[in-house]
Amino acid sequence: MLWLLLLMALTLALSHSPWRYRVVKDSLLDNLDFSQAGRGWAGSGRDIRLQPGTPPVLMLKADGSGRNVIMSRLLPRSPKGIDRVRVSADLSSQDLQAGPAPWQRGRLILLSRDARGKRIWYWPQQVAELEGSRSWQRYQATIPLHPQAVQTWLVVYVSSVSGQLLLKNLELVGVTETGAYRAARAGIIGAWVLSGLWILLALVPTVRRSPPALFALIYALALFAGGLTPQPHLRDGLDSGRQSLEQLIATGAALFPVEIAPPDTGSTSRGQSPQSETKKETVTKDSGKEEAASTPSTETRGSILPPQLHIAGSDKRAHLAAFAGLSLILFLAFRSAPRRRNLLAALLLGAAIESLQALSITRESEWADLGYDAAGALLGAVFALLLLSLLPVRLTKVANTAPEKPEKAE
């Protein structure tokens, strides 16, 4: 266990090491300090101001009309030897009220588009995201350049209900990974592979004689693989599985149709004719259309801003459910093992996934995800203990109600 904790600490330290990158080009764009006003920038929205000063301050204001206020700048073709861009800026916000969608905030991003002009999803993009009122703070992010990106845009925008976003001291530097970091990363990955093989070999005798233990191992390996699978391959696989399941359900419904008779409401027996019922349904449908038409749409049609692809918090609920299931399976499959060991195994798996995600490009390591993993493991452990406490009582009742065997006559 100590070896795994040390390996996790080394992985996180390596991913945040100051010698991970070296600067290839100091400045990729000119007029990032807005000393020449808006030259080279493209703006969308009238509520864009440049406050004079040293340095000048860019202000984007949301007036509550729902319009997107955007300032963007197209990056040149990446020079040879540059595979990442380091974006840094000072930002602050004043009464920035967020909208209902997760992206309706004040944000500084690096947007990648393919040859068809479409946004490349599941690629790192965010430098900063602000809401409410925040004082001046320095934000920085190193973002890889997508190999299939034809255009890369530096975008600062406000898509909130009200408030304003302020920006100054914007910098854009071309960097690449150092050779020392790549060598250390290869050594860390090799240590993880050897540790995984050692754990699997230690579990082989147990899973060979215990089908529940084998199922628990398969479940844990599936969680581990899902946590490290690059995006968008993971989302594509989940969508394919969902579509296959829907087709299987539809096929089963077609082969084994079930007819359910509607309940008899008896509306005509109370002096109402079928024509009056039809009129009432027509009025209800028309009123529903009017209500839907009067409801404002939250869809954003801008070419820069993304649509709302997911429900906020759905990823956290998936972490909670996945590790609750893992903890439950471990407690039921390894009943004779100490309870602390089962819970610790679930926690270590979650910590290992989050630490290894720090080395991935399309996955992000978050302490919040680890917190939800731990909460799910505790929830599954509590449910498993309740289930195991009721199981002996159930077996005792079955034994007491079992018929006695007749005694053999001498």
Question: How many structural domains are present in the chain?
Answer: 2
- Segments forming the whole domain that contains residue 13: 1-20+178-238+313-398
Helix, strand, coil shares, percent, the chain, to 5? 45, 20, 35
pLDDT at 379 over 80: yes
Determine the straight-line distance between the first and last CA of the chain, rounded to whole angstroms: 62
The Cα 270–Cα 262 span in angstroms is 19
The answer to whether residue 247 is domain-embedded is no
The Cα 370–Cα 375 span in angstroms is 9
Torsion of CA 29, 30, 32, 35, to 10 degrees: 180
The answer to whether residue 37 is domain-embedded is yes
Percent of the chain with pLDDT over 90: 44
pLDDT tens per residue, range 254-280: 666 655 454 454 444 444 444 444 444
Q: Are residues 34 and 144 in the same domain?
A: yes
Q: Are residues 13 and 46 in the same domain?
A: no
The answer to whether residue 251 is domain-embedded is no
Using 50, 70 and 90 to split pLDDT, how confident is the model at 54?
Answer: confident
Q: Are residues 57 and 197 in the same domain?
A: no
CB 90 within 8 A of CB 168: yes
Q: Are residues 105 and 226 in the same domain?
A: no
The answer to whether residue 113 is domain-embedded is yes
Q: Is 34 left (phi over 0), alpha (psi -120 to 50) or beta?
A: left
Q: Could you identify the residue written with the tokens 């906020």? A: 312
Q: Are residues 142 and 172 in the same domain?
A: yes
Using 50, 70 and 90 to split pLDDT, how confident is the model at 233?
Answer: low
pLDDT at 344 over 90: yes
The answer to whether residue 404 is domain-embedded is no
Using 50, 70 and 90 to split pLDDT, how confident is the model at 378?
Answer: very high
pLDDT at 408 over 90: no
Percent of the chain with pLDDT over 70: 74
Q: Which residue has the higher pLDDT, 233 or 66?
A: 66
Q: Are residues 188 and 167 in the same domain?
A: no
The Cα 49–Cα 114 span in angstroms is 31
Q: Which residue has the higher pLDDT, 294 or 25?
A: 25
Query: Residue range 199-204: average pLDDT?
Result: 92
pLDDT tens per residue, range 347-366: 999 999 999 999 888 888 88
pLDDT tens per residue, range 393-406: 554 444 444 455 55
309-332 per-residue burial string, b: 16 or more CB within 10 A, e: under 16: eeeeeeebeebbebbbbbbbbbbb
Query: Residue range 306-327: average pLDDT?
Result: 70
Q: Are residues 388 and 333 in the same domain?
A: yes
pLDDT tens per residue, range 71-120: 999 998 766 778 899 999 999 999 998 888 777 889 999 999 988 888 88
The answer to whether residue 289 is domain-embedded is no
pLDDT at 245 over 90: no
pTM equals 0.70
Output the CA angle 155-161-167, nearest 5 degrees.
Answer: 35
Write the CATH number for 166. Answer: 2.60.120.260
pLDDT tens per residue, range 147-177: 888 899 999 999 877 899 999 999 999 999 9
Mean pLDDT of the chain: 80
- Residue 408, phi then psi, degrees to nearest 5: -75, 140
Q: Which residues contact 143 (CB under 8 A, 6 or more apart)?
A: 84, 85, 86, 87, 110, 124, 125, 127
Give the residue from 129, 162, 177 where a domain finishes: 177
Q: Which pLDDT score, from 0 to 100, does residue 104 have?
A: 83
